[in-house]
Amino acid sequence: MRKLIFLALLAGALGIVPSALADTQELLVTPYTTTGGVKADTDIDVFSPDTSAPTAKFAVYVPTGFDLDLTGAPGTKIGDASAVLLAKQLGGTKVQATGSLTVDDPAKYASDPSAQACDASPHAAVWHLTLVASAQSIDIPIFVDRTTGADTALGSFVLQACLLSPDVAPEQGGAPLGAQLIDVDLETSGVVVNAPTGRPVWHAFVTPFLPGTATVDPAGVVEVRCIEPLPHSFSHVKVSYSKTTKKVTISGSLMMAGKPRAATRVHIDAGPKATFDSLKPWAVATTGANGSFSIVKPLPKTLYAFVYVNAYFAIPCSTGPSSAPKGCAREDTSPAFGPALVLKPKN
């Protein structure tokens, strides 16, 4: 339930993007457990704006120190998925797609020309992404490889997927619906094993098509990154109520990779019921140099509350130079979420 609430809160918060960033690709990785060395349900979200050239390929590098559990048999479900597509055959309408992520058999792709053209490496695993939009099914294999050579500097695994061109008719090998992938969110479960600790960096390289064609544009590759602090959590969260002032105080600390996280906005949404629909923005505080925060608010009635930190982003990227021809466009820091609270006035 906490994950569902946080997903909805995060989606709403990230839906408000400054206009200066509307044309920026993005990689956002959201773990639902930030304890080191444990399996964590993890969302991997790749975004490319509809104003950019359509995406031909994306490659996401899992940081060194992480592991992937690839023991699932073919057909095993390892997550849900969602996407936003620009359907050019539907007049350029943006459509929502939902689907699933399952384990596939790498042997199926060994002699497939299109799969080999996308990624000819021996695969540690293949994940089958199925999306359904406007009654149309779209199937995308995601090739999971252990990195070798120079790629080991980027991470321990790479997830690669190639897409069909939205500017070529489906009967000629183009994308169903003329679908240009704007955003894809892989909601993995039981496969990502966290690194022990630190500030690991996820890297994604987004390769476009030449506009209006099915020709890949290697000169147009852009990199985006996401820092995933481990652990990244709230500590010592306390709630107290003053009968004199009829106000509630919520205090605590935000820690990131074992150190206080300063100058960070802590959000609290609250409502009269323990449901997402009742939750509304209620309070915001900024952490001090020691990571601490405190919020004091009138409390005339019982409220159900949720504490969280949105993703933060940096432009330009701060974690080193990029090998992408177009450089590194954006670097996010994963969000964090804290406890659900029941705030009660005391008589």
Q: Look at residue 276 in the predicted model and tell me its pLDDT.
A: 83
Q: Look at residue 242 in the predicted model and tell me its pLDDT.
A: 96
Cα dihedral across residues 145, 84, 80, 275: positive or negative? positive
> 318: which DSSP letter?
S
Q: Look at residue 261 in the predicted model and tell me its pLDDT.
A: 97
The pLDDT tens digits of the residues spanning 181-201 come to 999 999 999 999 999 999 999
The pLDDT tens digits of the residues spanning 1-26 come to 345 445 555 444 443 333 345 578 99
**Percent of the chain predicted with pLDDT > 70:** 93
Query: Which two structure tokens, joined as six digits, stand for 208?
Result: 């476009």
Mean pLDDT computed over every residue of the chain: 92
The pLDDT tens digits of the residues spanning 38-60 come to 999 999 999 999 999 999 999 99
Kindly report the length of the chain: 347
- Give the distance, in angstroms, between the CA of residue 156 and the centroid of all CA atoms in the same chain: 19
In this predicted structure, the answer to whether residue 229 has a pLDDT above a threshold of 80 is: yes
Check: CB of residue 214 under 8 Å from CB of residue 190: no
In this predicted structure, the answer to whether residue 275 has a pLDDT above a threshold of 90 is: no
Which amino acid, one-letter code, is at 139?
A: D
Query: Which two structure tokens, joined as six digits, stand for 106?
Result: 């790498």
Q: Look at residue 19 in the predicted model and tell me its pLDDT.
A: 35
Give the confidence band of 161 by pLDDT, cuts at 50, 70, 90: very high
Q: Look at residue 65 in the predicted model and tell me its pLDDT.
A: 98
Q: Look at residue 342 in the predicted model and tell me its pLDDT.
A: 96
Q: Look at residue 2 in the predicted model and tell me its pLDDT.
A: 44
The pLDDT tens digits of the residues spanning 164-186 come to 999 999 999 999 999 999 999 99
Return the residue matching tokens 């000819």: 120
Q: Look at residue 107 in the predicted model and tell me its pLDDT.
A: 95
Give the confidence band of 234 by pLDDT, cuts at 50, 70, 90: very high
Mean pLDDT of 62-83: 97
Mean pLDDT of 227-252: 97
Mean pLDDT of 96-109: 96
Please give the sequence-ordered ranges of beta strands (E in DSSP) within 1-112, or none if there are none.
Answer: 26-31, 42-47, 55-62, 67-68, 77-87, 93-104
CA distance 179 to 168: 10
The pLDDT tens digits of the residues spanning 309-341 come to 999 999 999 999 999 999 999 999 999 999 999
Q: Look at residue 277 in the predicted model and tell me its pLDDT.
A: 87
Mean pLDDT of 83-107: 95
Q: Look at residue 347 in the predicted model and tell me its pLDDT.
A: 61
